[in-house]
Amino acid sequence: MVKERAHILVVGGGYVGMYTALRLQRKLRRELQRGEVEITVVTPDPYMTYQPFLPEAAAGSISPRHVVVPLRRVLDRCRIVIGEAGSIDHGKRTAALTTLATEEEGTGAQRLSYDELVLAPGSISRTLPVPGLAEHGIGFKTVEEAIGLRNHVIEQMDIASSTRDPAIRDAALTFVFVGGGYAGVEALGELEDMARYTARYYHNIRPEDMKWILVEASDRILPEVGEEMGRYTVTELRRRNIDVRLGTRLEACADRVAVLSDGARFPTRTVVWTAGVKPHPILAASDLPLNERGRLLCTPELTIEGTTHAWAAGDAAAVPDVTAGEPGKECAPNAQHALRQAKILGDNIAHSLRDEPLETYSHKYVGSVASLGLHKGVAHVYGRKLKGYPAWFMHRVYHLSRVPTFNRKARVLAEWILSGLFKREIVSLGSLEHPRAEFELAAGGKPPHTAPKDPNGSS
Ligand SMILES: Cc1cc2nc3c(=O)[nH]c(=O)nc-3n(C[C@H](O)[C@H](O)[C@H](O)COP(=O)(O)OP(=O)(O)OC[C@H]3O[C@@H](n4cnc5c(N)ncnc54)[C@H](O)[C@@H]3O)c2cc1C
């Protein structure tokens, strides 16, 4: 029984948003039935994205639909609102929401009142003022970006295969990735592997015709798997003819030329930017306290410091790492923490509504696994270091155990089994991005793909 009726507003439907709401649904089942509690989840997409599977989705090993989890099905006792919170006035306990309907009606943002706030909008790509980046860079955080990138890479191979101009061919077959964390390294590893395989179906493209370049500003990659495994990954990628440039920055990418700080210049139509993340800008549009890096200042109980009835976790939150033994150390922005924090967060909201003591979040980082392409990987988990096939296998087992819902586990497993029996998917469905093109042509209009190509090279 809760003290008084409560409306819980969850902003964000990612790891933290979905798992917190799921936990609340279970913990407050009777209160929800009696109407004493209401949970609203506001999120721009009707699904949660399992981001660690994005590189495999880009490589075609998993269908895009299976790397996302439908929120309406999982959170069947919550109200799901597809929209975005634009600002939060916690003093007045209100959030300004924009939904598809408010846009259609032209009424501006709606104000939604709440009693308890869970702020979990995650992070966005951390970009730098690199000339040309905003116009030509490609991100790798969403399922749309992952599938768009897959289509783009195959489309570049089609361009290279059909052009007579060696400069166009060279630029089309040059792929630059900036940032050597797991998103960049896994995306590069999976896509290079996919493109190498796909090349066998082109009569005039050999794998060695393609240039894959990884640019990393620090002197190591994959810090998540430790120094030794990071060094192994560099050696392994270089063995595959991938040009790994450590201590190097992208200085410009205007006019289809990537200019690096070591003086190298690569004509290219593909610059993938995975150089870290920063907290979501909505945090700055709230009256809640932030640290110097713009993350929400949180307590180990996952409340927002100096406030009541406000909670946060995940990439948006600076949660003290109580296992680190050094004051001021925060939990890193990763799924391992986000998932575990969400469970404690859900429990603590239930405790607080029932006037019970709160639990403290404590989790020691256990290491990480990364896939570098089919049957290739690297892992450093619970002190064990693995390379090659065993690491790749562990990566699959680990993520299969983690991807939410039995439905998604079964579908992903079925896809892996089928892809072991049949040849890899090499099709690009880039035309899905322009579904009206065919009809517009038939109706006498000008289809989008006959318009001049954008400078990024994607039609
Ligand atoms: C390619 C890739 C691979 C990764 N691999 C790993 C891995 O192997 N291991 C690991 O530990 N971590 C990995 N991560 C990191 C991990 O996915 C994140 O740390 C985790 O998703 C953070 O959870 P979150 O809930 O804070 O944010 P998210 O899961 O990003 O969720 C944020 C949610 O908020 C929504 N939102 C945004 N703005 C608003 C708004 N204004 N109003 C309402 N909702 C909003 C978003 O749409 C999203 O649904 C990877 C990340 C990427 C991009």
Specify the pLDDT at position 3: 65
Q: Which residue has the tokens 């986000």?
A: 338
Q: Are strands 277-279 and 123-125 parallel, antiparallel or unpaired?
A: antiparallel
CA–centroid distance, residue 222 to ligand 1 (Å): 18
| CA separation for the pair 421, 354 (Å, rounded) | 53
Q: Could you tell me the distance, in angstroms and rounded to a whole number, from the CA of residue 427 to the centre of ligand 1?
A: 28
**Separation in Å, CA 184 to CA 55, 99, 188, 274, 371:** 9, 32, 6, 5, 11
Q: How many helices (H) and strands (E) does the chain have?
A: 14, 24
CA of 355 to the centre of ligand 1 (A): 31
pLDDT, residue 156, reads: 96
Tokens of 50: 């399992």
Rounded distance from Cα 4 to ligand 1 centre (Å): 32
* Mutation test residue for ligand 1: of 182, 222, 340, 394, the one with most atoms within 8 Å of CB: 182
Q: How far is the CA of 315 from the centre of ligand 1 (A)?
A: 7
| Nearest Cα residue to 456 out of 260, 196, 273, 237 | 273
At residue 433, the pLDDT reads 73
Query: Does any ligand 1 atom lie closer than 6 A to the CB of residue 12?
Result: yes
Cβ distance 342 to 19 under 8 Å? yes
Cα 51 from Cα 403, distance rounded (Å): 10
With CA atoms as reference, report the closest residue to 186 among 74, 57, 1, 317: 57
Q: CA nearest 116: which of 247, 4, 270?
A: 4
Closest-lying ligand 1 atom to the alpha carbon of residue 338: 23
Distance 403 CA to ligand 1 centre (A): 14
Burial class (CB in 10 A: 0-12, 13-18, 19+), 288: buried
CA 176-47-97 angle, 5° bins: 100
Nearest ligand 1 atom to the CA of 369 is 8
Ligand 1: does its nearest atom lie under 6 Å from the Cβ of 381? no
Q: What share of the chain is helix, strand, coil (3-state, %, to 5)?
A: 40, 25, 35
189 lines ligand 1 (CB under 6 A): no
**Distance spanning both ends of the chain, measured CA to CA:** 58
pLDDT (0 to 100) of residue 325: 81
Q: Is 181 in the pocket of ligand 1 (CB under 6 A)?
A: no
Ligand 1 atom index nearest CA of 54? 1
For residue 106, what are its two tokens? 């032209």
Q: Helix 226-239 and helix 182-198: axis angle, to 10°? A: 20
Q: What is the pTM of this model?
A: 0.91
122 Cα–ligand 1 center, Å: 5
Predicted pLDDT at 388: 92
333 in contact with ligand 1, CB cutoff 6 A:
yes
Gap between the Cα atoms of 153 and 143, Å rounded: 15
Show Cβ contacts of residue 403 under 8 Å, excluding neighbours closer than 6 positions: 50, 53, 67, 69, 409, 412
Confidence (pLDDT) at 426: 79
**Residue 422: is it exposed, middle or buried by C-beta count within 10 angstroms (0-12/13-18/19+)?**
exposed
Q: What is the DSSP string of 213-258?
A: EEE-SSS-S-GGGHHHHHHHHHHHHHHTT-EEETT--EEE-GGGEE
C-alpha span between 192 and 184 (Å, rounded): 12
Query: Average pLDDT per run of 10 along the chain, which is 459 residues long?
Result: 83 97 96 96 97 94 93 96 95 94 83 97 91 94 94 95 96 97 94 95 96 96 89 95 97 94 96 92 95 96 97 97 87 93 97 96 89 90 90 93 94 92 77 74 66 42
